Amino acid sequence: MIKLENISFDHCIKCTVCTVYCPVARVTHLYPGPKQSGPDTERLRIKSPELLDISLKYCSNCKRCEIACPSDVKIADIIQSAKWKYSKRSLKLSRIRDFLLSRTDLMGGVATWFSPIVNFFTGLGIVKFFLNTFLKIPKQRRFPKYAQGTFERWFKKNSNEQQGYDKKVLYFHGCYVNYNYHQQGKDVITVMNALGYGVEMTDEKCCGVPMIANGFLKKATKNAKFNIKSLGKAVSNSEKRIIASSSSCALAMKHEYPNLLELDNSPIADRVDYITRFIFDEFEKGNIPEMAPVNLRAAYHSPCHLERMGGVMYTIEVLRKIPGLDLKLLHSECCGISGTYGFKSEYYTIAQDVGNELFDRIDAVKPEIVVTDCETCKWQIEMSTSYEVTHPISLLAKAIRGANKSGD
Amino acid sequence: MNYDCIIIGGGISGLTAGIKCVHEGLSCAIISSGMSALHFSSGSIDMLGYTDDGDVVYEPHKYIDEFIDSHKNHPYAKCGRDIVAESLQFFQEQVANRNVQFFHNNSSNHFHVTALGTLKPTYLSQRSVFNEKVRNGFASKPSIAIINFEGFRDFHPELAASNLKKNQLFNDFEIFARTIQLSEFNNTDKNPHEFRSIDIARILEKDKNIERIASQVKEAAGNALFAGIPALLGIHDSERVHRKLEELTGLIIYEIPTLPPSILGMRIDDALKTIFADEGGVFIAGDKVISGEIDNNTLTHIHTENYGKSQLSAQHYILSTGSFFSGGMVSEFDSIHEPVFGLQLDYPKGRSNWYSQNFFDRKSHPFLHYGVDTDNNLRPRDKNGETIQNLYCTGAILANYDPIREGSGGGVAISTAYFAARQIIEKCKE
């Protein structure tokens, strides 16, 4: 049966504008574009699932089609759910890879115990060769380094002074901060403290984005339910807001939970935000901490998922408040990696071809640093260009620490 | 978030207003839900193409005085003839900096050829549609080849050729249709693309393909001087592709607009958006303004789907959300409304009065001139009939003009945008 509330594919007027803005269709003829993969074939799939088109798998779920659509069709959601609803799972080695790539909690939990060894091995040519041969992970791909221990553990030891603040925020750190890069979490604390907020954390699991992208919808739903319950409970008796420093985590909790996983996220829906929006609101109230100039020429790249959420404006306005920062806005382009997409051999070339346009534009700006909100964009840009990439919060923290130093 | 100006709607009108504002140093954001009607347009800019009797207007700059006199409520009458002329000049100069050259026929109209092979009067066209060479070449009654790419289903050269031949201007011309094959199409079973305009445009804009395609075009064109091809010569660098193709073939290459997505229109979209962003404008794509708070005849802030409760505010606002197709107006079974602010619209009761029986009626359809009525400064009235002091309406959402019957769509979009922007700039500088 067709669910009547879910027939947005019927609003498609076949104008093909989405396909114009699809970064994957731009670089490969193997993908027919979102119009055909989404609304066109959805009606056929509903009738008979064997009409599933294998080209669906090329969709990287960047969601640029939804931004482009003049008729408000949820094209990427249609494709994502079709991809997994109708496809038969075959047991291939690449499914093991997909499992490993999508279980960021599992992999991170183990790797952070042995991070020097893991980092050493993932950098070795021979290991890359085996990953490439057996797991179809491209040998050119550089792996993010794992941190020693988790951010959660660090926070437990160092969170005492957070009690001293009257106002609090609940921080959803996400897997990247927890397992790979603690400094970003520390930067969040610096910024929040400077704004007069103490930081709290509660039990959280991976937001589910990599599982959705790899077709583990059941596991994604389980994690989503856990997060809604855990975060919801932590804020239920207060006005506390929830902030995420990863744009894709925020998108998942706000949009993917209700739209794609069809879960009731009302306990957190109005509370959770990507962090720059929270900071922007404070800035608007006049709560602007003292900042020392950060004299850098910075190129800002807006991640696809932040665009879809409508959060880019906040990041830009927050960055503009940093004194001395020479901010250049890059034309909105997909970097190509789309989470785990660029970690798979069969899509590696597509991912790099998609990203080339962005890399050229970065070169044209000749920045001293590239700024972006998304960790996978960061990996992609750092691997594919010679530029260092940082998070907006880290720049802000730098400016705040600079001011504290000069004030001492 | 507080701007000098927030523009709701990122089509040709919103972008033109935005560019004028940021040009003068105003802080400005455009909120746009989905891509604009430029993606469905001919890519030429009409100013005034027809009189009320349906006769072709040849000199719009002269005719406009008489037109304004007899159409006191028309957006052109509110802007005034000078603003109309100045705005079109401004638009032309702006996009020229971004590799989209527009030409007019010494300030007169010219005809452009439609996908069906009919002629439409228009004021500004891109180089590949109208320039000196096209005009002079036409005078020598050249033979014309209309060429399509096999597999491209959104253009039919035989139809275009035979309709064109029926036109008295082309009666004694030799016009013939040809089709050429792109080798990219050979592996169709491997290639699931549908070969819409964008797919072919991507093939044509690649340097490595141009020589091969040029020789195919040349061969197909035979003894013709003109080759009319569907408008697929790329988006970002079409001038260079067009020049190269002319150089290599020795022909005059003429682009004919296709069914959407319109490559000609997307060139304008791309140019305008790039200019706006380069000059510091904030373009928010994929979000929808759902309501606004009006207090004491002043719009204080607006709400959007994505930003929710967070307040977006500005000193001044422009509503350029377009007509029915773009969602600027919504028609129910027996009523029409403006969805953002609930502005007053003027239309007769009874759905059957809204349209003509004949789809191609030369007098057009009545619904095309429904829209928001404004004061002489383009400011609309709220539900209580009070003028909203800091909101301006521009482009297709305006009432009292008919883009099809008058041939005035592009001109109204650009001139009202420019007029509103100028008023806002003046007030911000006070």
Q: What's the DSSP call for residue B283?
A: E
Residue A86 pLDDT > 80: no
β partners of residue B230: B256
Backbone angles phi, psi at B307, to 5 degrees: -85, -10
* A270 chain-B contacts, CB cut-off 8 A: 308-309
Q: pLDDT by residue (tens digit) across A180-203?
A: 999 999 999 999 999 999 999 999
**Residues of A at the B interface, defined by Cβ within 8 angstroms:** 15-17, 19-21, 25-26, 29-33, 36, 53, 55, 66-72, 270, 277, 280-281, 284, 307-314, 316-317, 329, 331-332
With CB atoms and an 8 Å threshold, state whether B261 touches A17: yes
Using DSSP bridges, classify how beta strands B330-331 and B336-337 pair: parallel, antiparallel or unpaired.
Answer: antiparallel
Residues in chain B: 430
* A55 chain-B contacts, CB cut-off 8 A: 192
What is the predicted pLDDT for the residue at B309? 65
Residue A92 pLDDT > 80: no
B326 touches chain A (CB under 8 A): yes
B308 touches chain A (CB under 8 A): yes
Burial of A87 (0-12, 13-18, 19+ CB in 10 A): middle
Tell me which fold the domain A297-407 belongs to: Rossmann fold (3.40.50)
Residue A214 pLDDT > 70: yes
- Among A174, A330, A354, CA closest to A249: A174
Q: Does residue B269 contact residue B47 with C-beta atoms inside 8 Å?
A: no
Q: Which of B190, B260, B274 sits opposite A16 (nearest CB)?
A: B260
What is the overall mean pLDDT for chain A?
A: 90
Instruction: Report the alpha-carbon distance of residue A36 to residue B170 in Å, rounded.
Output: 40
Domains recognised in chain B with CATH numbers: 2-97+266-429 (3.50.50.60), 115-256 (3.40.50)
Distance from the first to the final alpha carbon of chain A: 68
Which residues, 6 or more positions from B367, have their beta carbon under 8 angstroms from its beta carbon? B324, B331, B336, B347, B354, B355
With CB atoms and an 8 Å threshold, state whether A313 touches B284: yes
Predicted TM-score (pTM) of the model is 0.90
What is the predicted pLDDT for the residue at B187? 64
B1 touches chain A (CB under 8 A): yes
With CB atoms and an 8 Å threshold, state whether B39 touches A17: yes
The dihedral sign for the CA sequence B189, B190, B192, B197 = negative
Q: Does residue B394 contact residue B320 with C-beta atoms inside 8 Å?
A: yes
Q: pLDDT by residue (tens digit) across B76-110?
A: 999 999 999 999 999 999 999 998 999 999 999 99
Residue B193 pLDDT > 70: no
With CB atoms and an 8 Å threshold, state whether A32 touches B286: no
Instruction: Report the alpha-carbon distance of residue A329 to residue A298 in Å, rounded.
Output: 9
Domain ranges of chain A: 4-85, 297-407
- Among B126, B101, B105, CA closest to B42: B126
Residue A247 pLDDT > 90: yes
Could you tell me where the DSSP H helices lie in A333-391? 345-365, 375-384
Q: How far is A310 from chain B (nearest CA, A)?
A: 6
Instruction: Report the alpha-carbon distance of residue B215 to residue A332 in Å, rounded.
Output: 36
Span B293-316, average pLDDT: 87
- Taking every pair of Cα atoms in chain B, the longest distance, rounded to a whole number of angstroms, is 70
With CB atoms and an 8 Å threshold, state whether B192 touches A32: yes
Q: pLDDT by residue (tens digit) across B258-278?
A: 999 999 999 999 999 999 988
How crowded is residue A50: how many other Cβ atoms within 10 Å of its Cβ? 9
The dihedral sign for the CA sequence B239, B242, B243, B244 = positive
The dihedral sign for the CA sequence B421, B422, B423, B427 = positive
- Which amino acid type is present at position B407? G
- Residue with token string 């002329």: B85
Q: Does residue B319 contact residue B340 with C-beta atoms inside 8 Å?
A: yes
Question: Which has more confidence, B361 or A200?
Answer: A200
With CB atoms and an 8 Å threshold, state whether B192 touches A30: yes
For residue A327, give the chain B residue with the closest CA: B280
What is the predicted pLDDT for the residue at B191? 55
Instruction: Report the alpha-carbon distance of residue A33 to residue A397 in Å, rounded.
Output: 41
B153 touches chain A (CB under 8 A): no
Q: Which of B29, B285, B304 sits opposite A67 (nearest CB)?
A: B285
Instruction: Report the alpha-carbon distance of residue A308 to residue A296 in Å, rounded.
Output: 28
Q: What's the DSSP call for residue A176?
A: I
For residue A279, give the chain B residue with the closest CA: B1
With CB atoms and an 8 Å threshold, state whether A72 touches B34: yes
Question: Which has more confidence, A85 or B386?
Answer: B386
| The CATH number of domain A4-85, selected from 3.40.50.12780, 1.10.1060.10, 1.10.443.10, 3.40.640.10 | 1.10.1060.10
Instruction: Report the alpha-carbon distance of residue A103 to residue A206 in Å, rounded.
Output: 8
- Among A309, A358, A315, CA closest to A336: A358
Instruction: Report the alpha-carbon distance of residue B416 to residue B411 in Å, rounded.
Output: 8
